[in-house]
Structure 1
Amino acid sequence: MYKEISNEMLSFLQKSPSAFHAVDNIKNELKKENYEELLEGQNWNIKPGGKYFVTRNNSSIIALNLGKKLDHYGFNVVASHTDYPTFKIKENAEIEVKGKYTQLNTEGYGGMLCATWFDRPLSIAGRVIVKEGNQFVTKLINIDRDLVLIPNMAIHMNRAVNEGYAYNKQIDMLPLFGGQDCKPGDFNKLIAKEMNVSVDDIYGSDLYLYNRTAPSIWGANEEFISSQHLDDLQCGFTSLKGFLKGYNDESINVLACFDNEEVGSGTKQGAGSTFLYDVLRRVNNALGKTEEDYYCALASSFMLSADNAHAVHPNHPGKTDVANCVYMNEGIVVKSHAGQKYTSDAISIAIFKDICKRAGVPVQFFANRSDEAGGSTLGNIAMAQVSMNSVDIGLPQLGMHSTYETAGVKDTYYMIKAVEEFYNSHISEISHDVLKVSK
């Protein structure tokens, strides 16, 4: 059971080398379940009982499953993100070195662990904008072979590397693309050949490196999984699976997967944009509801902000709080922070604990050491646009922001069960101090 769902998740990750591919794969799963695509530039015909999805920038997606009895409805939202730390290829990509090598000119996207990118088979994926007549068409690209590599410098030339080294992304992190037979323009020709178009037809691109190392299930009892971008496509995958299984007649279930979390979420398709707000307002209006109905719905709404969490590191257990620390294969993590980097509070934690209890899955609690600064995620950023009760959750993992991360084989299953139970629930505000959860 655990291995089966983990293998399915790892397959999804392999097919999602960029945020654009992740959204495309989510779209395909939704279409299989008869979800109708909406376009932001067209009028929406929304009906109770309907199933819909809308994308923005081809890298963020929001899906909707409407109940049929929406007199006093609320939104059940699970939010995750589609992007991960990597290297973006610059517009003028080629750098020639002494007529013997061609490198690709890249810049860092997000806070990656640089050392994990060396001496691994890498390739390129993303999107290309092709002009067809008077139209600009977005096409996805994944060069499905070992194409580039970032070579380490030998220890003989950098003897202090094991004592700590500050990587320079413009010098140390450039991937090797070709040897002396490589000619100027070969990179653009390769992209055009992969797309089966001419170089002159390509008007733009967003291309990124990705790690080609195959995912793995490993350990003495096959209890661990390792793969690229577990943060945060593990939550994206499990949220999708729970979304497709769950339903409540009195709620509008919402699956939101945002891009650009790793760089602050401040883009038109990020959690800090109006994307979620726009979609929820348009749904409310298309249903013939008033503005007052919308604000009443928000009071009975709930969000699971789903982004992975730090498991106790076996070599560095002292890096985590002595009591509020978490382990792989021991359940879903609820994240809290006194400085409000996470949305979790007493109300939202209580509701989520009850959901997990009904789903039969274990819960763990994470807080940073009080003398260590932690990371942040998309929950509070999204709440600046659409305010509702929210809890920050995730799955425990090691090596966050490595190009090859590790998690527990059981936790994928746990998250799917909890998300399904959440989507089966209807949460309603009874009074200023009472929330009711029903099925």
Structure 2
Amino acid sequence: MEHMDATPDTSAYIADFSRFLEASPSSYHAAAEVARRLDAAGFTALAESQAWPTGSGKHYVIRDGAIVAWSQPAASGPTTPFRILGAHTDSPGFKLKPKPTIGLHGWLQAGVEVYGGPLLNSWLDRELELAGRLVTRDGREYLVRTGPFMRIPQLAIHLDREQNNGLTLDKQRHTKPVFGVGDASSADLVDHLASLAGIDGWDVAGYDILTADTQSPARFGIDNDLFAAGRMDNLSSVYAGLTALLDAPDARHISVLAAFDHEELGSESRSGASGPMLDDILTRIGAGLGASASEKLQAYAESWCVSADAGHSVHPNYSEKHDGANQPVMGSGALLKINANQRYATDAVGAALWERACASADVPYQEFVSNNTVPCGSTIGPLTATRLGIRVVDVGVPLLSMHSARELAHVDDLVGLSRAVGAFFAGV
């Protein structure tokens, strides 16, 4: 299939996606930014501890670093099915440990724990920020971010002439960022973060603070169609789902954006895809429509989830790592992700749905399957299919440098994913 032509709509999409990425240095910020945009579009926040309104409407729920939003048309009934775009808000990196302020050899350093599976070397020699949430003794939460603040410095080649023959990083010794000079008594990271949030450090009882690269997203390349940024795995899918939901027409189903947290850790948390969040919310929506247990299962039987998570473009320097026949190239469309062992949930019926969505949106797509000697990762897709028993198809934008501090995509694929999800929400 041919590449989509670059249009002013593409430029506007990429510019706004860049703003979305810069507003979302952590999963908590990403959920808050999605909520801010939903508020502006007339959606209403609901609290899980309170009764929910019945009838049609546009609502959302935040649970920690996850957010679920839905648009419920007036014609909805007890057996109305759901159309769900599933994604995740977290990205690999580092998370601040307890007692995080370390003073060694005259340097101030931060104690961090590896979060997920980052490409460690990509985080070296980059200006990083800390971002996430602080929780005070009374249970109130405060979002905080530092801006450029720290750096993991690489050892000079003069001190280890063999580095270019094989760099090995010890996750405990070699990944502690520096943020100043002095000793641990001269600075306190928690106090600094608290001051940015406008609270006292002594009042901070807990925190979930992660690192993020601070370099701005950028377009480049001979046709200006390559796009580099951090956290595109998987904010590319969150943003595509958000834009599609905001434009979704009334249909014979309830359109849902489910952006989970903790996918990079295996999704086993109260806000992850293995947890109860999505089923809790769909059950409450159904209850508001008067659905019995049997009618809930009828609705699920006709429901769909598009599990959207970034995938792999063929790498020109490592083509042997890919399947010989299936070698998707960035710029040729979003991926239909297939795995015989159900690491992706796509089956033949799901493949047909994705083909219809892409055809309706007039965008190309391409298949991805792993080399048999290079096992693939997994997504929220199989987890959602297992928990809810609904049909799921796995898709995503092809990337190079996945799990790097700065990943690479093609602008046409980013826009194409949103258009295809829009067609899915329209009811193809």
Bin the TM-score by the shorter chain: over 0.9
- 2-side partners of 1:221 and 1:156: how far apart? 39
Partner of 1:429: none
Which residue, out of 123, 127, 131, partners 2:129? 123
Supply the AA of the counterpart residue of 1:136. G
Instruction: Verify the 8 A CA contact 2:108 2:183 in the aligned structure 1.
Output: no
2:71 alignment partner AA: N
Q: Does the 8 A contact of 2:384 with 2:390 survive in 1?
A: no
* Structure 1 position 245, deviation (Å): 0.6
1:159, distance to aligned residue in structure 2 (A): 2.2
Counterpart-to-counterpart distance in 2, 1:320 and 1:248: 41
Where do residues 4-403 of structure 1 align in structure 2 (5 Å cutoff)?
4-47=12-55, 49-57=56-64, 59-71=65-77, 72-98=79-105, 100-131=106-137, 135-144=138-147, 146-180=148-182, 183-403=185-405
Q: Secondary structure at the match of 2:99?
A: strand
User: In the alignment, is the contact (CA less than 8 A) between 1:304 and 1:393 conserved in 2?
Assistant: yes
Q: Is the 8 A contact 1:247 1:253 kept in 2?
A: no
* Counterpart secondary structure, 1:406: strand
The residue aligned with 1:431 is none
- Distance in 1 (CA, whole Å) between partners of 2:140 and 2:398 is 39
Partner amino acid for 1:25? E
Contact 1:70 1:250 in 2 (8 A): yes
**Identity, % of aligned pairs?**
32
**1:392 Cα shift?**
0.2
Alpha carbons 1:94, 1:184 under 8 Å: kept: no
Counterpart-to-counterpart distance in 1, 2:123 and 2:175: 8
Q: Secondary structure at the match of 2:336?
A: strand
Contact 2:96-2:208 at 8 Å conserved across structures: yes
Check whether the contact 1:20–1:126 (CA below 8 A) recurs between aligned residues. Answer: yes
Q: Scaled by the length of structure 2, what TM-score is found?
A: 0.95
What's the offset of the Cα at 1:188? 2.5
Cα displacement (A) at 1:181:
7.0
Report deviation, 1:184. Answer: 4.2
User: What stretches of structure 1 of length at least 5 have no aligned partner?
Assistant: 426-436
CA distance in structure 2 between the aligned counterparts of 1:160 and 1:314, rounded to whole angstroms: 26
Tell me the distance in 1 between the aligned counterparts of 2:182 and 2:168.
30
Q: Secondary structure at the match of 2:320?
A: helix
Q: Is the 8 A contact 1:122 1:211 kept in 2?
A: yes
What do you get for the CA RMSD once the two structures are aligned?
Answer: 1.3
For 2:134, the aligned partner's letter is V
Q: Which residue pairs with 2:5 in the alignment?
A: none
- Partner of residue 11, structure 2: 3
Matched position secondary structure for 2:108: strand
Distance 1:46 1:405 in 2: 42
> What are structure 2's unaligned runs of at least 5 residues?
1-8
Q: CA deviation at 1:187?
A: 1.8
SS at match of 1:361: coil
Is 2:130–2:145's contact at 8 Å kept on the other side of the alignment?
yes
Residue aligned with 2:139, SS: strand
Q: Does the 8 Å CA contact 1:242/1:423 hold for their aligned counterparts?
A: yes
Displacement of 1:192 after TM fit?
2.2
Which deviations, in whole Å up to 9, do the C-alpha atoms of 1:56-80 show, x marking residues without a partner?
12x0011111122224411000000
- Kindly report structure 1 stretches of 4+ aligned residues shifted beyond 6 Å: none
- Whichever residue aligns with residue 74 of structure 1, its letter is P
